[in-house]
Structure 1
């Protein structure tokens, strides 16, 4: 490629957007990636299982599960708020606010005695803070890179995999010795330390003028008139319906087939570790074979892993193999969300596109709830519905992404 990154450059593409990329690729941007990585490390959900077993009981399992759901919803829908505040006060102040919300959300959750306390703290307050941090870093980090944008954002997105791997091992000994209250508070201070690194390191490549934006300036639904972006949005939303299901149900499925709780936890930990590796791998592949191509390949393999491995997994070894394969390929969307959105819309409409994608992700949060409703409504072996639903969601999403690729270029080997 030349120094011009031509977006959607082919005869069939209606909109051709050319972005001036005449700047040093990376440079200080790698420090921005470091800060953004630390933000992603702190994007985790904690403690619901412990509260269920020791405080509220299994009768409150459904109500307690909505703590994480509320956090994910607010993380996704508050993107426009992050952009409005950034236009008024700048990136650093918004990140400071986000850091305080994330930290206070967890610290105050340590004083919870009712489920609705967790809704307000770990759900709403933590979710708002996570959204302010995530939308800020994802609006800044891509602009520091050109040829290595894929690997840079892959490293950034891999932080959540590290968080999912490391945080449980920090939580368990603290929880056993100090109890859930102090576990929450200590996690709050860990988030404070990680996010402060981002506050210090993350800054835009070029100064951004302060000009207050209105909600109408940010939520511009006309981006959905772009057929290519609409396909990416729908395909990603459908595929993500299957993303959370293994992480929700693998431990209980392991218990069903006679494995221990420790083995069930190990499955999730290994999958999180492979998720970390897979997102970096997705970034590397994106820089070499194209972002859309990589996303399609990874999405197909993620779906096939549920169909061909989890379906027949009746022992620990096979389940561990599934955890490895699914973890490697399930998270490409998170690594490639920003670069594909920028590729399809150009950087001028990128903020609007990013907010639209995040809002659409709210639908995907309910994937486990939809799968559970189907599981309870059909006559099938236990967990069979979850396996089929996860695999079908990924494969259906991949087929929609294939239509996107064909719209961009009829040449199936084109680097897109």
Structure 2
């Protein structure tokens, strides 16, 4: 018997064929429907994959941020705050001793009255700050070769010796510690960079606050020559301690540091000077220092002119220095929130106005004290902001070169500013000596305003 000849078999086969057809149709329909559903599923999976890629990229970016930039409190950034302490000590001794030069100037005008004049004494006083800041342009190759700490160690030896031997050597030694030290806080802070730099640079005002009356006391007890020896010994101890605390995170002018800084472009001096924004900053640095040291150098002499003693003049230097320290901390705090250039502009403008107007009409001791307070609050606050703005414009990796150029730009202002004021005083009186630093500080504020408007593209209200 042949199964296929059986009607039941044919029915079964027909039924089976129908089932196959139905299954085939269902398969096609399901294939279509599955295909139709597959696109949104694939899109969802694709989006999920993209999201994971974004998260991975974010994690990679987060891991590329230096650890000290993630949390900047003392517990999480101990080395950063030790660096701030080191820079504070450097400012305390280097600029603290320079700022109280007015005490020596007043003394030398009495001791050597027949041999010299205010112009020559002021010129001698300006040698140290000129050498200090101008040295910075030559230091990047030295730092690149031997590192920050060993560069500062050279200065820690030369600067105290300079107090015994020659003021040029003192300025050179201070330059070897000051320029590297001022570049270090920016390497350890980002959110609070200006505040950290302000805290570090406040050492200059506190140093003058302490050293100025101490110097007058040493004059009375051991004489002016032994006073230099006492200051030199204390300075040697302080600078060696600062050198030991000088931790660095990045090698100058290199593309990648040992602590995984994001790669930045390595720039030479020619490339830096082709940046218009940086040119504005260099021009500001060149001009503002013509009026920076003069008001402080002439405090004892103007106090004597008002009929008061040199001791009271030293007290006013201490007042001005104390206000300077408070201002550098507060203005650093404000700069992190309102913008570095904005705060620099305000301080330069206010300092110029206070000098040109308030000092001009300070005909008694109390009014002059008010001027010293206000000038202390504004006159030096814009200076520590320069390294922070340099980092903003040229990048952290090029900060040492940028600072070196800005510091060398201050050469003529540091060297000639107080001396020109002294010559004007000698030939034309106090009005000319007062208006010179005031006017040139106001003009430097105009240049800074031009930089601000260029970077903000004309916007008046903007954090910058």
The CA distance in 1 between the partners of 2:192 and 2:114, in whole Å, is 48
Partner of 1:359: 408
Report if aligned partners of 1:25, 1:144 keep a CA contact under 8 Å in 2.
no
> Residue 386 of structure 1 corresponds to which residue in structure 2?
433
Deviations 1:109-155, CA, capped at 9 Å, x for gaps: 4xxxxxxxxxxx2x221111100101111222211001100110001
Q: Deviations over 1:237-289 (max 9, x none)?
A: 22221112211223222222323333222222211111111111220110110
Residues 1:25 and 1:74: Cα distance change in structure 2 (over 3 Å): farther
The answer for the alignment partner of 1:413 in structure 2 is 461
Q: 1:356 to 1:200 in 2, by over 3 A?
A: same
Q: Check the 8 A contact 2:206/2:322 in 1, yes or no.
A: yes
Q: Which residue of 1 aligns with 2:84?
A: 33
Partner of residue 345, structure 2? 296
Per-residue deviation, residues 315-346 of structure 1 (Å, max 9, x unmatched): 11111100000110011232201100111111
Provide the secondary structure at the position in 2 that maps to 1:225: coil
Which residue of structure 2 lines up, in the alignment, with residue 8 of structure 1? none
Q: Aligned-pair distance for 1:298?
A: 0.9
Aligned to 2:303: 254
Q: What are the superposed Cα offsets for residues 152-172 of structure 1, whole Å, 9 maximum, x if unpaired?
A: 000111111111111122222
Pairs within 5 Å for 1:21-170: 23-26=69-72, 27-28=77-78, 29-43=80-94, 44-45=97-98, 46=101, 47-54=104-111, 56-61=112-117, 62-106=119-163, 108-109=164-165, 121=166, 123-170=167-214
- CA positional deviation for 1:85: 2.0
Is 1:371–2:415 an aligned residue pair?
no
Cα shift readout 1:8-53 (whole Å, capped 9, x = no counterpart):
xxxxxxxxxxx95663343121111001100000122343443443
SS in 2 for 1:73: helix
Give unmatched runs, 5+ long, in structure 2.
1-63, 256-265
Distance 1:219 1:166 in 2: 40
Q: For the Cα contact (< 8 Å) 2:137–2:407, is it kept in 1? A: no
Matched, 1:182 2:230: no
Q: In terms of Rg, which structure is larger?
A: 2
- Structure 1 range deviating more: 131-140 or 200-209: 200-209
Which residue number in structure 1 is paired with residue 14 of structure 2? none
Cα RMSD, aligned residues only: 2.4
Q: How does 1:165-314 map to 2 (within 5 A)?
A: 165-206=209-250, 220-314=269-363
- Flag structure 1 segments of 5+ consecutive residues without an equivalent: 1-18, 110-120, 212-216
Judging changes above 3 Å, is the alpha-carbon distance between structure 1 residues 175 and 307 closer, same or farther for their aligned structure 2 residues? closer
Provide Cα deviations, 1:320-374, integer angstroms capped at 9, x if missing partner.
Answer: 1000001100112322011001111112332221100000111211112223444
> In the comparison of the two structures, how many residue pairs are matched?
376
Report deviation, 1:305. Answer: 0.9
- TM-score normalized by structure 2? 0.76
* Paired position in structure 2 for 1:395: 442
CA separation in 2, counterparts of 1:310 and 1:210?
Answer: 47
1:396 Cα offset (Å): 1.1
Does the CA contact (< 8 Å) of 1:219 and 1:355 recur in 2?
no
Map 1:309-324; keep pairs closer than 5 Å. Answer: 309-324=358-373
Q: Distance in 2 between matches of 1:50 and 1:374?
A: 20
Partner of 1:12: none
